[in-house]
Structure 1
Amino acid sequence: MADIAIGRETSEFKKGLQAGITIGIGYFPIALTFGLLAKTSGLSIYETVLMSVIVFAGASQYISLSLIAYGTGIFEIILTTFIVNIRHFLMSTTLTEKCEEDHLLNKLIYSFGITDETFSVVATKEGTATTGFMFGVIAVSYSSWVVFSGVGHLIGASLPQTLQESMSVALYAMFIGLLVPSMKKSVKVVFLAALGAAFNSIFTINHLMAQGWAIVTATLLSAVLIELGEVLKNKHRGVQHEK
């Protein structure tokens, strides 16, 4: 029976590896760019790889680079990362119903590897996602992100100093690239981005708070106001519908 169980887990792990290949390929250019930008932001290759090993969250790592460049404190960076990744609570809750019952330790290990991409692959899988499948998907995506972050840093180190310094502009281009697709899908995101940018500008131009706290406060404030507006709008629609 033990041999059968091991064989089943091995088979599921292989299926997970196959399903995760597309994620690994997709991470290649993003992780490569992150490593390059990390080099131009002043991080060593050890710090760059360690961040990918410990954090494993693309958007948060990019934001961290900009905050580090501003000289933001550790607490503000951690808080901003938490806010950006708060959606992972919802994703983890959803996958709890999708994944098979297993030891808490196994769930704790593979929950670390939940990203937008791994969540999409697992959530759309037919049937129950086994522990072996989860580990397979995450093994490919995680190793791809970590390895290519280091490769990107090495490539950045070989570039001329002038070009390295000019690459800091690519960080803002990356943020725009991440934001625009979401803005096309939802007007709500457009208002959220505009309001957040306005608050951040007000806080920084008037020197009301440090850059790091300005970003954190602007993000929270704009999110609360947009959601409050959404609630009031839905409530108004409900009243109109009853009439």
Structure 2
Amino acid sequence: MATPVSQMTPIPNKDAFRSGMRAGIPVAVGYIPIAIAFGLLAKSFDMPNVITLAMSLFIFAGASQFIGVQLIMAGSMYWEIILTTFILNLRHFLMSASLSQRLETTSNRFLAAIAFGVTDETFSVASTRDESTRGHFVLGLNLIAFLAWNVGTWIGVFLAFGLPASVQTSMGIALYAMFIGLLVPSLTRKPVIVVAAIAVLTQAILYFGVSPFIPLSSGLSIILATMVAAGIGALVYKEDEA
């Protein structure tokens, strides 16, 4: 008879940490090219290197960093940038809360360190591993993803010097490619398809039907489209259908 996980002899913190880092290798490998694209994108907009590197170091939120660069370069207001990235990252509150219920540690500082590194991908890995009850496992998992993202950003920023201007400028499509890459794997479920279609339709209405008469910044348009699509999705689809 197999021994229940809860009755197994706990592995040392060091071993749990190393196990987490090993589990995070596939995530890290996937992060590097996206981070390189972010560094090149920021460089193509003449974003100061120190700001680009600081975004990956202190924010560490891929989609928000991409859209943040776009909004900054578009001259959006500060509150629009803050609100847009806040809405994009609301899901992290739920993911962190879910993980905190599984961890055996109760140290607020340790939980805060883990919460900072939670991403969609690391949360997915942690949610499917028994070792995720160990805080050091999740810490190792998050750390290798964090390091890969920052290494990729450095490569992207400093590789840009050797690339032709046309290639640097073309990196503007990296934002759309990233969002498509995040969206397409989820398009196997009807609620996701409907909500995405509503967001696209709302953005089109705002751009073609409203903006010519009432000037709307790109940041505000994204906020409105996100809120409308998410609100309709929450009303139409129940939790068990989503």
TM-score w.r.t. length of structure 1 = 0.85
Query: Aligned pair count?
Result: 225
How far the C-alpha of 1:107 sits from its partner, in A, is: 0.7
User: In 1, distance between residues paired with 2:26 and 2:132?
Assistant: 20
Is contact 1:102-1:131 (8 Å) kept?
no
Q: Does 1:30 align with 2:34?
A: yes
Among 171, 174, 177, which residue is 2:175 paired with? 171
Q: Does 1:147 align with 2:151?
A: yes
Among 106, 117, 120, which residue is 2:121 paired with? 117
Q: Percent identity?
A: 40
Q: Who wins on radius of gyration, i.e. which is larger? A: 1
User: In 2, distance between residues paired with 1:70 and 1:179?
Assistant: 24
User: In 1, distance between residues paired with 2:24 and 2:174?
Assistant: 28
Q: Partner of 2:201 in structure 1?
A: 198
TM-score w.r.t. length of structure 2 = 0.85
Among 193, 218, 239, which residue is 2:225 paired with? 218
Change in Cα spacing, 1:224 to 1:54, as seen in structure 2 (3 Å) is: same
Moved over 6 A (4+): none
Is contact 1:200-1:215 (8 Å) kept?
yes
Among 64, 72, 77, which residue is 1:73 paired with? 77
Runs (5+) with no aligned partner, structure 1 = 1-6, 235-243
How far the C-alpha of 1:127 sits from its partner, in A, is: 4.8
How far the C-alpha of 1:57 sits from its partner, in A, is: 1.2
Change in Cα spacing, 1:76 to 1:151, as seen in structure 2 (3 Å) is: same
Q: CA RMSD in A?
A: 1.9
Runs (5+) with no aligned partner, structure 2 = 1-10
| Secondary structure in structure 1 of the residue aligned to 2:133 | coil
Q: Does 1:52 align with 2:56?
A: yes
User: In 2, distance between residues paired with 1:192 and 1:16?
Assistant: 34
How far the C-alpha of 1:192 sits from its partner, in A, is: 1.6
Change in Cα spacing, 1:128 to 1:54, as seen in structure 2 (3 Å) is: closer
How far the C-alpha of 1:40 sits from its partner, in A, is: 1.1
How far the C-alpha of 1:128 sits from its partner, in A, is: 5.2
Q: Does 1:108 align with 2:112?
A: yes
| Secondary structure in structure 1 of the residue aligned to 2:151 | helix
